[in-house]
């Protein structure tokens, strides 16, 4: 067996059961086609991300907000603990 190329059923046994070497989904094909027809789309995505997600954090203000938090009661609808 050594030195001979695998053929037929032996080749199928040697392949991974999860491998799909030539498969691309319809969604992947659509996105690839969209990016090739409109190359500026990636720059717009980066600008949108920086607008919505990449924020500067004021650590002093964050520390003040965390220090000012009031701990929540175990049962939020009970305003005063029962003295009995």
Q: Tens-of-pLDDT digits for all 84 residues of the chain?
A: 556 565 665 565 556 666 667 788 999 999 999 999 999 999 999 999 988 888 888 999 999 999 999 988 788 787 776 666
For residue 6, tell me if it sits in a domain: no
For residue 36, give its domain range. Answer: 26-67
For residue 48, tell me if it sits in a domain: yes
Alpha-carbon distance of 48 to 53, in angstroms, equals: 8
SS3 46: helix
Q: How many domains does the chain have?
A: 1
For residue 32, tell me if it sits in a domain: yes
For residue 39, tell me if it sits in a domain: yes
Confidence (pLDDT) at 68: 96
pTM of the model: 0.40
Confidence (pLDDT) at 67: 95
Q: Per-residue DSSP letters for 19-78? A: --TT---HHHHHHHHHHHH-TTHHHHHHHHHHHHT-----HHHHHHHHHTPPPPPSSTT-
For residue 5, tell me if it sits in a domain: no
Confidence (pLDDT) at 69: 95
For residue 74, tell me if it sits in a domain: no
Confidence (pLDDT) at 38: 95
Alpha-carbon distance of 11 to 21, in angstroms, equals: 14
Confidence (pLDDT) at 20: 62
């Amino acid at each position: 067996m050594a030195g001979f190329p695998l053929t037929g059923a032996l080749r199928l046994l040697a392949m991974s059961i999860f491998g799909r070497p030539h498969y691309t989904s319809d969604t992947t094909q659509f996105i690839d086609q969209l990016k090739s027809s409109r190359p500026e789309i990636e720059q717009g995505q980066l600008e949108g991300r920086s607008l919505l997600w990449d924020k500067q954090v004021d650590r002093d203000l964050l520390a003040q907000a965390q220090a000012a938090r009031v701990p929540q009661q175990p049962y939020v609808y009970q305003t005063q603990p029962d003295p009995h």
